[in-house]
A and B are shown apart, each in its own frame.
Chain A
Amino acid sequence: MALPEVKQTATEARLANLVMPDAGCTRAAREDALARVLEMGLPGRRDEYWKYTRPDTLVSAEAPTAALFHSDEAMLFSEFDRLKIVFVDGVFSPEESDDLELEGVTIDRIEDICCKDIHWAKELYGVLEARGQTPVQRPLAALNTAFAADGIAIHVTGKPSKPISFIYRHASETSDAMLHHIIRVESGAEVTILENGPAASRFNKCMEIDIADEGVLHHVRAQGRDHERRAATHMFTRLGKESVYKSFTLTVNGVLTRNEQVIELTGDDAVAHVAGACVGDGDFHHDDTVFVTHDAVNCESRQVFKKVLRNGATGVFQGKILVKEGAQKTDGYQISQSLLLDDDSQFLAKPELEIYADDVACSHGSTSGAIDETALFYLRSRGVPTKDATNMLTLAFLAEAVDEIEDEALAEAIVSRLEGWLSRHS
C-alpha cells in the first residue's frame, strides 16, 4: 500500500540525509531494514502509536540543535568499578574507553563482527527489531538498524565481575547520532549493563538483547540533564526459559524522550521487569512505550513507571501486555502513575491488556494525582519544612520504581540523583 504523501515526503527527506555504512555482513540486515522503513514510512503525527508524542523532531531531515550540558558534578556511576565503553556524539572512542577485555564476556564493535566472523551477532543484528515490527510498527528502530553508524556487540558467556557501562558524551550542538548495540546472554550467564550521559543533540538508539535459558541481564540507565536533547530509544528483548531481564531507567529533564521496550517471553518461567522513574519540569516531554508479549507458560512480567511532572511538563505511558494462546499461568502486572505537582502538567496513559489464555493473572493500574495533603500536613506538623516534606513525599512516590533495581548501591546512586534534581527544582 502506498504511503500517504506527507509521510512519503518526510521519509524521503530524512533518508536523503543518511548514508548506509559500508558494513559487510550486516549489509543484508540493513538493506532489509531500509525496505521496512520504506514500506512503513517514518512516524507521523497522525499515527495512533504517536498520538501523545509528536515525532516531528525525531524524524526531521536535520536534527534540531541542542546546547551542550556542563556540570561540575561527577557523572553518575563514576564511583563504580565497571568496564567503560565511551561514545562521543555516537562514535566509539577507543581513547576514552577501557580495554574491551573482561572475563566472561567478549566485546566487539559492530563493524568488526564481520571480519571476525562472529556468527551469533550476524544472527541477531536487526532480527529482534524486525520481529518487534508486528503487531505495532516501530519505524525509527528499523531506520536505526539500517543506518546506525556504530555500536557494540556483547557476548556474555559467564558472569563478569563488574558491570559493562556505556557512557555517552555530547560534543557537538548539531550531532545526530544512531547507535545499535546487540547483546547475547548465553545459558546461565549473567551481566549488568549500565548506560548514562548526554549522547547527542538527537539520539536514536536501538539495543537488541537475546537472553538464553537461565541467563540474566540487569540494565540500569540514566538519561541526564541535557535538557535540549531529543531521544528515541528501543530495547528489544527476547527471553528464554527461566531467564531474567530487569531494566530500570531514570530520566531527568529532556524536551523529548521516547523509550520503547519490546519484550518477548518465549521460554517457560521467564521473568521480565521494566521500570522507570522520571522527573520533569516545564517543556519536558517523556514517553514510555512498552509492549510485553507472553508466549510461554508461567512467565512473570512487571511494568512499573512513575513520573513526577511540574510546570507544564508532559508524561506519556503506553503499556501493553499481550498474552498469547497457550501462555497459561502468566503473571502480568502493570502500573503507571504520575504525580502532578501543579495544574499545568499532564499525564497521558494508555494501558492495554490483550489476553488469549484462560488461566492467567494480569492487572494494570494507572493514576495521576497531586501530593497527598494529609501526609504533607503530617510531616509539617512534625517540623519538616514544606519544601523538604514535598521532596520526601515525591521520592516516596518514586520509590516503587527505584525499588525495582536489585543492586542496592546502584539504587542509592539513582536516589541521590533524584534528590539532587528535587533540591535544584523546588
Chain B
Amino acid sequence: MLEIKNLHVKLEEEEKQILKGVDLTVEAGKVHAIMGPNGSGKSTLSYVLSGRDGYEVTDGSATLDGEDLLEMEPEERAAAGVFLAFQYPVEIPGVGNMTFLRTAVNAQRKARGEDELSAADFLKEVRAKAKSLKIDADMLKRPVNVGFSGGEKKRNEILQMAMLEPKMCILDETDSGLDVDAMKLVAEGVNALRDEGRGFLVITHYQRLLDHIKPDVVHIMADGKIVKTGGPDLALEVENNGYADILAEVN
C-alpha cells in the first residue's frame, strides 16, 4: 500500500538533511510503528508524506497504491487516502468543528467523483462516531480545537479519521499529552478502524501506546533512517533498555 524508497529530505530553508534514505513498506491491513529518539526524523516523515511545505525531497520516492504521493498537493493526497493525525492539532477560531468536518468529507467525496453526503446523513454518521469517542455535542459545535483539552484534541483527530475513512492512517505521536484513560479511548478509536483494506503508521516515543494499539511491525528510526525492524517485541526492548543499546548495536 504505502511504499517509501530511499527517501531523502532536507529542510527547504537550510542545508539540513533530515531523512537520509528511508525505506519502508506498509501493507494493507497492517499496523507499523515507528519509534525513535527525538530528532530522528519521525515527524518529518509524517509531514513529508502529507505534503506540508518547508521540506525538499532530494531523492527517493513515496507511493500509495502505486500513485506518486510526492507529486500531489496535500488535498489530493487526502483524497487519495492519506490521513495524518497531528501531534499538535491546529486551533481554528471562527470555523465550527461540524462545518469543518462536513466540508472535508464532502471535498474528498467530490474529488473522488462521489456524491456529497446529505446534511441528514452526515449528521447521523458524525453523531454516532462522536459518541463512541465520547465527543459531546458541544465539542462538535465549538470552533475547531479551540479551548479543547489535549485529550479532546486527539479524540477530535480520531473522529476526523473515522469520518474520512482514509486508506493510510499516519498517527504522529498521538499519545503525547494524554493520560492513560484518554490514551485508551484514542486507541479504541484507532482499533475500531483497523481493517483489511487500511494501513497504519503509528509514530511514537513510547511503548505504552503500543500496548493498546498492537503493531504488526516495529521500526526503529535514528538519524534519518530506519535502523532496525522487528516484531512487537522490539518495542518492549526499547521500553526496557532505551534506544542506546539498539543504536550501539546498529553502529
Which A residues fall within an 8 A CB radius of B? Answer: 373-375, 377-386, 388-389, 392-393, 395-400
Contacts and interface: CB of A to CB of B under 8 A. Distances in A.
B93 A382 contact: no
B78 to A, nearest CB: 4
A281 to B, nearest CB: 21
Nearest to A400: B94
Contacts of A379: 92, 100, 104
Interface string B87-111: 0011011110001100111011001
Which of A378, A383, A385, A397 has the most chain B CB atoms inside 10 A of its CB?
Answer: A383
Interface residues of B, number: 30
Contact of B104 (A374, A375, A377, A384): A384
A399 B75 contact: no
B94 A397 contact: yes
B41 interface: no
B193 to A, nearest CB: 16
Contacts of B73: 380, 386
B151 interface: no
Contacts of B204: none
B48 interface: no
Contact of A377 (B74, B83, B107, B108): B74
A396 B93 contact: yes
Interface of B: 50-53, 73-75, 77-79, 83-84, 86, 89-90, 92-95, 99-100, 103-105, 107-108, 111, 143, 160, 164
- Main SS class of interface, A: helix
A374 B74 CA distance: 12
B51 A396 contact: no
A383 B95 contact: no
Given A377-B53, A378-B86, A381-B50, A393 B74 contact: no
A388 B94 CA distance: 15
23 contacts: A373-B53, A374-B90, A377-B90, A378-B90, A378-B92, A380-B75, A380-B78, A381-B50, A381-B77, A381-B83, A382-B78, A382-B100, A382-B108, A382-B160, A382-B164, A383-B79, A383-B107, A383-B108, A383-B164, A388-B103, A392-B100, A396-B93, A397-B94
Nearest to A392: B95
Nearest to B105: A383
Contacts of A400: 94
B142 to A, nearest CB: 13
A381 B94 contact: no
A388 B100 CA distance: 11
A374 B88 CA distance: 11
Contact of B95 (A374, A380, A396): A396
Nearest to A394: B94
Given A377-B53, A381-B51, A381-B84, A386 B75 contact: yes
A377 B53 CA distance: 8
